[in-house]
Structures are given as C-alpha cells and as structure tokens.
Amino acid sequence: MPIAQPTPGKLLLSPGDHTLVMIDFQSQMAFATKSIDPVLLRSNAALVAQSAQGFGVSTILTTVAEKSFSGPMFEEITSAFPGQAMFDRTSMNTWEDAAVIARVNEIGKGRIVLAGLWTSVCIVAPALSAIDQGFEVFVIADACGDITEEAHERAMQRMAQAGAQPMTSLQYLLELQRDWARAETYETTTGIARRLGGAYGLGITYAQTMFGASEGH
C-alpha cells in the first residue's frame, strides 16, 4: 500500500519547471475564431500572461506573418512582458522555427505549456512535435480557440490522446500558487484573479471588501 505524503505530485506545474509559449494571438487569427467569445479569449490570454509574468515563468511570445498579414499580438499579452523580443515566423508550426527552438533550448526546460490560435493548427503542430521529441506538454484549453467548436474539441482530443495534458487559464494561475501560505505571491495571485478571474475574482473582492477576509484564513 502506498504511503501518503504532504507533498505535491510530480505532474503538477511549478513556476520554474516549464516554458510557456504563447502563439499567434493576433487580429487576423482572432477574426475567424468562433469556438470561444473573443472577449473571454482576450481575458483568458491576459490571465495566462500576467500569471507567467507574476511568477517569473520563462515565456516565449511568437507571431506568424505579423507585418504582412496577421497583425500584432494582443496588447493584453505584450503589456505583461514590456520590451520582450517577439519571434515572428513563416511556419504555421512553431516547432519548425529555428529561432524559437534555439530559445527553447536556451531556456532548457523539459515541460512546455502552450496557448494560442488556432488550436487545430498552430497548437496541435508544436504540441505533437514537442511530445515526439520527449517534452512534456500542457495546453491551456480556454486560452486557445478555433474556427468552430468542433475544430477546437477535436484538436484537444488529438493532443490529449498523444499525451498532452489539458488545463484552463485559472487552473494555471492557481496551480502556480498552490498554497495560500506562500505570502510572496499571494497578492499577485489574488490581484490577477480579481481583475481577470470572472465570478471567482468577484468573490475575492467581495470577501476582502465586506469582511476583510483572505484566502487560507
């Protein structure tokens, strides 16, 4: 019989064990995205970006044909990483871009977390490619979108069947925090949740304002 220990499982993400890759959050890609409301998509993308910035997660931002066709990356994302270099590609598959892969290798993390547009093309391709090369892959499902709900769902199924682990944007934030006793990131986590965490964030605001309450107390 296994012995339970008060320690986190190895499958959980920690801020220092992965690279977040945010892919093609651009106007041209968003125009045709129908599997998720664009306002919610932008909010979730901002939540992921601010979570990564707040916890010091190694992050790669990449676009496709930014100047010639697809437009700039969402300001909600770039504002979280002021001055950070943007990798612009010609390849739909981020994993086939030599500059991006050089940065992945420079960072040197064995786990890759993906978010972006569209799920069935620009997320599936790097996910399957990274898995094939021995990386552990996570996909933030509600910070991805596609031209139809079915396109998104079939893409998520395909990646999960290959070994990718699906998660959500709020789950990503809370998994990085994981313990409300971590005072150094408590305000970062609850601040992001208040701004971008939907009804959960409203609940935090209400509890703090009305009762002076806080998570974990």
Has residue 3 been placed in a domain? no
Has residue 85 been placed in a domain? yes
Who's near 159: CB < 8 A, 6+ residues apart?
A: 123, 124, 127, 128, 137, 139, 166
**Which of 47, 122, 123, 141 is flagged as catalytic?**
122
Has residue 155 been placed in a domain? yes
Residues 30 and 135 occupy one common structural domain: yes
Convert the pLDDT of each residue in 149-185 to its tens digit. Answer: 999 999 999 999 999 999 999 999 999 999 999 999 9
In angstroms, the Cα distances linking 156 to 5, 33, 55, 88, 115 are 32, 15, 26, 25, 12
Residues 172 and 198 occupy one common structural domain: no
Total tally of structural domains belonging to the chain: 2
User: Does the pLDDT at position 217 exceed 60?
Assistant: no
pLDDT at position 203: 82
Convert the pLDDT of each residue in 84-113 to its tens digit. Answer: 999 999 999 999 999 999 999 999 999 999
User: Does the pLDDT at position 1 exceed 80?
Assistant: yes
Range of the domain at 158: 18-178
pLDDT at position 216: 62
User: Does the pLDDT at position 211 exceed 80?
Assistant: no
144 catalytically annotated: no
Residues 55 and 155 occupy one common structural domain: yes
Has residue 4 been placed in a domain? no
Q: Output phi, psi for 211, to 5 deg.
A: -125, -5
Convert the pLDDT of each residue in 112-149 to its tens digit. Answer: 999 999 999 999 999 999 999 999 999 999 999 999 99
* Residue indicated by tokens 């977390």: 113
Has residue 134 been placed in a domain? yes
pLDDT at position 213: 63
Residues 207 and 103 occupy one common structural domain: no
Residues 66 and 115 occupy one common structural domain: yes
Residues 166 and 75 occupy one common structural domain: yes
Residues 111 and 82 occupy one common structural domain: yes
pLDDT at position 65: 78
Residues 190 and 172 occupy one common structural domain: no
- 215 pLDDT band (50/70/90 cuts)? low
Convert the pLDDT of each residue in 36-89 to its tens digit. Answer: 999 999 999 999 999 999 999 999 999 997 777 788 999 999 999 999 999 999
Has residue 42 been placed in a domain? yes
Has residue 11 been placed in a domain? no
User: Which ranges of the chain does DSSP label H, i.e. alpha helix?
Assistant: 27-31, 38-55, 75-78, 98-107, 124-132, 149-162, 169-177, 183-196, 198-211
Has residue 8 been placed in a domain? no
